[in-house]
Amino acid sequence: MSGWNVVWGALVTGGLCAGSYFGAPRGENQTVIRTSLIMTLVCCYLMWAITYLAQLHPIINPKKSDFARNADTL
């Protein structure tokens, strides 16, 4: 688990975006199809990268609580 996975993911996403740009079918809706495919890939990558980095470097450190110990005495 390292930060390099985000870089590799960006490279793969960039390759898929290039492939969808050049592989979009010709026609009057070519721009719409290209835009939809590229936006979908970028949004999925950003969601994955933000979630991955949030788990890699959490903002708040977890605190140990004695909840389980107190639950036994109830």
Residue 65 lies in a domain: no
Q: How far apart are CA 10 and CA 31, in angstroms?
A: 23
Average pLDDT of the residues in 31-46: 97
64 vs 47 pLDDT, higher one:
47
- Is 70 a residue whose pLDDT tops 70? no
28 vs 66 pLDDT, higher one:
28
**Length of the chain, in residues:** 74
72 vs 42 pLDDT, higher one:
42
Domain count, the chain: 1
User: What string of DSSP letters covers 28-49?
Assistant: TTHHHHHHHHHHHHHHHHHHHH
Q: What is the average pLDDT score of the chain?
A: 88
Residue 18 lies in a domain: yes
Residue 67 lies in a domain: no
Residue 25's domain spans which residues?
3-55
Residue 61 lies in a domain: no
